[in-house]
Chain A
């Protein structure tokens, strides 16, 4: 024991002062023996040795890490101060005390400042891992976990039609009215219907996205206007003035500059169903941040969130008309004490009653329709839940890899510090004390890493709205809030404690004397642990990389899909005429005039129109009866379109056989239709479709339409869908709808045309808003946004994982090679050639990489189940993808092994052997 202390003091204080202390202490010791007796003196001596020993440790560590300093005392004032601090910390650690943890943290901080590279590596690696996980957690938190921004949101439910276990969709007005009249489980139930209000005046006419809502709307959401009043029962009474509007805060700020006198002000506007310009009165403004429930929005409106609310009057309309009129989106607020199950039972039994009372309604495709209820939050986010959890899982894998890397770093570092710990143990530090020191140090680092991670998450949250699909629910709720910070902190603490604890085990388990006496460490055990960690990293990285590979491959295929039309230089200009365009003649005149004006704009080559162009404008698929079909079979549901002149030419859809619509295909001519290839193949396989006849099942006039041509098939709503049957009718033989989208083929990239196109519209009707003019390519881009986002994110995680695991392989290899310098030196000295040395040092790494690759690909194969529904045109076991990933990864891994291996090959044996 004495010898050990002597060595420690000489190491810490320097040769001279180590001796001086022992000598001077000896003098005083003898003095104490004389005065107080041997036992007391002995106690005193132990105390003194302990104190000075701590000081020596601090001074020694400090000098060891700053070799330029003179080896003699005095060490600098800082080291002295540290010595005293360690001393204090250790003294306090004997009894419970709050201050020592702080001391430990300060000590950890200082130790790290002396090893900046190590610290940066750990903080950077964890920052990356925690950053990815935290960013995804803030999305999961905002979208899935945060309660909806309404009072008592857990009582809100979506109500609607269901088939079996399907999501509640829209419900018809009679169903809504019946439920509202009879309900006992709902405190209030409200319905909403999308409409639009074209506001005239100001700089230019503007179309506001409006939700017409029933009387109880404000009771259900539990929010009242910040200015003015909500709608009251009287607003819905027969004969009441329904031309009243409540504005959203944002539109009030933007269009009316936050005018405080807005309540009571009037605006000139036309509603979709109103006849010409009318006067509307503003009765209120909703509070800032208030949002119409997303489950009630119309995702096909193309106008975004609701900007204003108007009363929706269902009363007074004859019931017969209401059944087929339109669908309502309804939400309800449960009565306290009533559960969702109660509401479900009530809705379902009401549906049974309605079905027996109106059997004519619940037939055909409506058979089996019932009423259902779903929690509003679940309903709103359901479609994206699996996507988010998948991405969160990807981020989790990255975090695991980062944690494995960091643990590996800590283990190496711990090995280097066995002597330091041995000294502490020798001086009486308990195992607990040593473990705590390590844990505090690694936790401090991990928390710094989580700060970096939070920074990354903060940036990600800002970038997200730009890359997420426009219809992604609750994007505005994605923020870095307390829960996100707590998440990052918890993850960091878990990783920090785990790393610190595991690496401290290397220290507390060994005997003190042995460590002080030998330089090396228990290399074998650690090497095995590290090899295990690296293998785990390889496995996880390969899983992520394979997932990313599959998604990238699938996305590339999606992008290459031919939609069936030429998307380049194609513009879309949605038009919605007010009710004042009452007759077909008026509408035809408008579109005819617009056609001429638009075609005269230079750069425009061809113009046509259609109600529902491809890529996200919604669609109508009425039941169609085919002539000659078995009368007992159900009518078939087919996407049908009414199109303007030159539609196929404008869109670039080829006419494969027969002819295009001509001018003479008007009201006076025979009724004609064009089907597409998909329809022909499905219903007349191997037959010529030309000359066949069909009719609309619900057409009261029973008109038969003769097929005169077959067009190429197109994809209607997304490149990912299967080709669906389409039928086209000429506008001249069909009423033109108020709502149409003008399609324009332009010569060049359609830049700067928007102004001229708008001007052309306003020449015809200066009050008609032109909210958006879109490029078809942007439209397709929007449709592909979700797969792109998913692919981008998983690929980013996979690349980060690749980098981290390569770093892990490199570090392990370097560590293994360095530990074997002596052996390699001897081998070289004994005549081993380059190949032999290379084999010796890289054998283990090659084995790890090989093992990791096999296990990783297997795991990837299993995990790819999660991707199955997201892949397009590619199997989840796509062999080329797996092979490419494995080859790329293994080549990269081998390259990572190369520098350390070359170091071994270039070793100068004499130098290594002499060192020993």
Chain B
């Protein structure tokens, strides 16, 4: 169990990175989160969060320079074993919190 807790944005960024497999960098993560959640997210925030998660050891990155004339540089991220463990832990925690509330939640709506 890691000591640092995941923030809400970090949680989302980690999940998006996992979904995107090898293609996760700030642009694709932003689009993924916006597409899935329907809410806008700042690229700078994602950019910073990716690096923070890397500093925490949940992600690792590689740099890719496009050989074409666009001159694009991208930093791609991938989950480490720690990152995966952290997601599992978070899922377990959330699941247990979700348990037994469906009736109230649906009944209320």
The chain A residues found within 8 Å of chain B, CB to CB, are 16-17, 19-21, 23-28, 31, 47-49, 51-52, 55, 73-77, 80-81, 83-84
Please give 20 more A-B residue pairs, beta carbons under 8 A apart, in addition to A20-B75, A31-B27.
A16-B63, A19-B73, A21-B44, A23-B73, A24-B75, A25-B26, A28-B27, A31-B31, A48-B43, A49-B44, A51-B45, A55-B48, A73-B51, A74-B51, A74-B54, A74-B55, A76-B55, A77-B55, A80-B48, A83-B48
Q: Give the distance in Å from the alpha carbon of A170 to the alpha carbon of B41 in the complex.
A: 86
Q: Give the distance in Å from the alpha carbon of A73 to the alpha carbon of B44 in the complex.
A: 15
> Could you pull out 26 A-B pairs where Cβ atoms are within 8 angstroms?
A16-B73, A19-B73, A20-B73, A21-B47, A23-B72, A23-B73, A24-B27, A28-B27, A28-B30, A28-B31, A31-B31, A47-B42, A48-B42, A48-B43, A51-B42, A51-B45, A52-B44, A52-B47, A52-B48, A55-B44, A55-B48, A74-B52, A75-B55, A80-B55, A81-B52, A83-B48
> What's the least CB distance linking B33 to chain A, in Å?
12
Within B57-109, which residues are at the interface with A (CB < 8 Å)? Answer: 63, 71-75
> What's the least CB distance linking A45 to chain B, in Å?
9
Are B75 and A28 within 8 A (Cβ)? no
Are B42 and A80 within 8 A (Cβ)? no
Q: Give the distance in Å from the alpha carbon of A26 to the alpha carbon of B72 in the complex.
A: 9
Please pick, from A24, A25, A80, the residue contacting B51 in the complex, using a CB distance under 8 A: A80
> What's the least CB distance linking B19 to chain A, in Å?
18
Are B48 and A27 within 8 A (Cβ)? no
Q: Give the distance in Å from the alpha carbon of A864 to the alpha carbon of B91 in the complex.
A: 79
Instruction: Mark interface residues in B25-36 (1 if CB within 8 Å of A CB, else 0).
Output: 111001100000
Q: Give the distance in Å from the alpha carbon of A76 to the alpha carbon of B72 in the complex.
A: 26
- On whether A24 and B25 interact (CB within 8 A), knowing A52-B48, A74-B51, A77-B56, the answer reads yes
The chain B residues found within 8 Å of chain A, CB to CB, are 4, 25-27, 30-31, 42-45, 47-48, 51-52, 54-56, 63, 71-75
- On whether A27 and B44 interact (CB within 8 A), knowing A17-B51, A77-B56, the answer reads no
Q: Give the distance in Å from the alpha carbon of A27 to the alpha carbon of B43 in the complex.
A: 11
Q: Which residues of B contact A26 (CB under 8 A)?
A: 72
- On whether A24 and B43 interact (CB within 8 A), knowing A31-B27, A52-B48, A80-B48, the answer reads yes
> What's the least CB distance linking B79 to chain A, in Å?
16
Q: Which residues of B contact A23 (CB under 8 A)?
A: 71-74
B61 to chain A: closest residue by CB: A74
B64 to chain A: closest residue by CB: A20
Most buried by B among A27, A52, A83: A27
Q: Give the distance in Å from the alpha carbon of A84 to the alpha carbon of B52 in the complex.
A: 11
Q: Which residues of B contact A20 (CB under 8 A)?
A: 63, 73-75
Q: Give the distance in Å from the alpha carbon of A48 to the alpha carbon of B40 in the complex.
A: 12
Q: Which residues of A contact B25 (CB under 8 A)?
A: 24
Q: Give the distance in Å from the alpha carbon of A74 to the alpha carbon of B45 in the complex.
A: 15
> What's the least CB distance linking B70 to chain A, in Å?
9
Q: Give the distance in Å from the alpha carbon of A77 to the alpha carbon of B72 in the complex.
A: 27
Are A25 and B43 within 8 A (Cβ)? yes
Are B27 and A27 within 8 A (Cβ)? yes
Q: Which residues of A contact B71 (CB under 8 A)?
A: 23
Q: Give the distance in Å from the alpha carbon of A899 to the alpha carbon of B54 in the complex.
A: 49
Q: Which residues of A contact B48 (CB under 8 A)?
A: 52, 55, 80, 83-84
A19 to chain B: closest residue by CB: B73
Q: Give the distance in Å from the alpha carbon of A914 to the alpha carbon of B71 in the complex.
A: 37
| B contact patch SS | helix
Most buried by B among A47, A75, A80: A80
Q: Give the distance in Å from the alpha carbon of A48 to the alpha carbon of B48 in the complex.
A: 11
Q: Which residues of A contact B51 (CB under 8 A)?
A: 17, 73-75, 80
> What's the least CB distance linking B46 to chain A, in Å?
10
Q: Give the distance in Å from the alpha carbon of A757 to the alpha carbon of B47 in the complex.
A: 91
Q: Which residues of A contact B47 (CB under 8 A)?
A: 21, 24, 52
- On whether A48 and B55 interact (CB within 8 A), knowing A23-B73, A24-B25, A27-B27, the answer reads no
Q: Give the distance in Å from the alpha carbon of A26 to the alpha carbon of B54 in the complex.
A: 23
> What's the least CB distance linking A49 to chain B, in Å?
8
> What's the least CB distance linking A216 to chain B, in Å?
74
A45 to chain B: closest residue by CB: B43
Q: Give the distance in Å from the alpha carbon of A505 to the alpha carbon of B2 in the complex.
A: 47
Are B44 and A17 within 8 A (Cβ)? no
> What's the least CB distance linking B8 to chain A, in Å?
13
B73 to chain A: closest residue by CB: A23
> What's the least CB distance linking A259 to chain B, in Å?
63
Q: Give the distance in Å from the alpha carbon of A28 to the alpha carbon of B47 in the complex.
A: 12
Q: Give the distance in Å from the alpha carbon of A287 to the alpha carbon of B75 in the complex.
A: 79
Please pick, from B43, B52, B63, the residue contacting A28 in the complex, using a CB distance under 8 A: B43
> What's the least CB distance linking A25 to chain B, in Å?
6
Q: Which residues of B contact A76 (CB under 8 A)?
A: 55
Q: Which residues of A contact B26 (CB under 8 A)?
A: 21, 24-25, 28
Q: Give the distance in Å from the alpha carbon of A181 to the alpha carbon of B63 in the complex.
A: 104
Q: Which residues of A contact B54 (CB under 8 A)?
A: 74
A29 to chain B: closest residue by CB: B43
Are A80 and B52 within 8 A (Cβ)? yes
Q: Which residues of A contact B27 (CB under 8 A)?
A: 24, 27-28, 31
Q: Which residues of B contact A31 (CB under 8 A)?
A: 27, 31
> What's the least CB distance linking A27 to chain B, in Å?
5
Q: Which residues of B contact A83 (CB under 8 A)?
A: 48
> What's the least CB distance linking B106 to chain A, in Å?
35
Q: Give the distance in Å from the alpha carbon of A291 to the alpha carbon of B49 in the complex.
A: 68
A51 to chain B: closest residue by CB: B44
> What's the least CB distance linking A423 to chain B, in Å?
16
Q: Which residues of A contact B4 (CB under 8 A)?
A: 77
Please pick, from B30, B52, B73, the residue contacting A77 in the complex, using a CB distance under 8 A: B52
> What's the least CB distance linking A795 to chain B, in Å?
56
Per CB-CB distance, the 3 closest pairs between chain A and chain B, nearest first, are A51-B44, A52-B44, A74-B55
Most buried by B among A17, A26, A52, A74: A74
Q: Give the distance in Å from the alpha carbon of A81 to the alpha carbon of B55 in the complex.
A: 12
Q: Which residues of B contact A47 (CB under 8 A)?
A: 42
> What's the least CB distance linking A73 to chain B, in Å?
6
Q: Give the distance in Å from the alpha carbon of A51 to the alpha carbon of B30 in the complex.
A: 15
> What's the least CB distance linking B16 to chain A, in Å?
14
B49 to chain A: closest residue by CB: A80
Are A27 and B55 within 8 A (Cβ)? no
Q: Which residues of B contact A48 (CB under 8 A)?
A: 42-44
A47 to chain B: closest residue by CB: B42
Q: Give the distance in Å from the alpha carbon of A47 to the alpha carbon of B44 in the complex.
A: 9
Please pick, from B45, B55, B74, the residue contacting A24 in the complex, using a CB distance under 8 A: B74
Q: Which residues of B contact A84 (CB under 8 A)?
A: 48
Q: Give the distance in Å from the alpha carbon of A471 to the alpha carbon of B74 in the complex.
A: 83
Q: Give the distance in Å from the alpha carbon of A76 to the alpha carbon of B56 in the complex.
A: 9
Q: Give the distance in Å from the alpha carbon of A365 to the alpha carbon of B71 in the complex.
A: 109
Q: Which residues of B contact A74 (CB under 8 A)?
A: 51-52, 54-55
> What's the least CB distance linking B5 to chain A, in Å?
12
> What's the least CB distance linking B11 to chain A, in Å?
16
A26 to chain B: closest residue by CB: B72
Q: Give the distance in Å from the alpha carbon of A827 to the alpha carbon of B54 in the complex.
A: 53
> What's the least CB distance linking A36 to chain B, in Å?
11
Q: Which residues of B contact A21 (CB under 8 A)?
A: 26, 44, 47
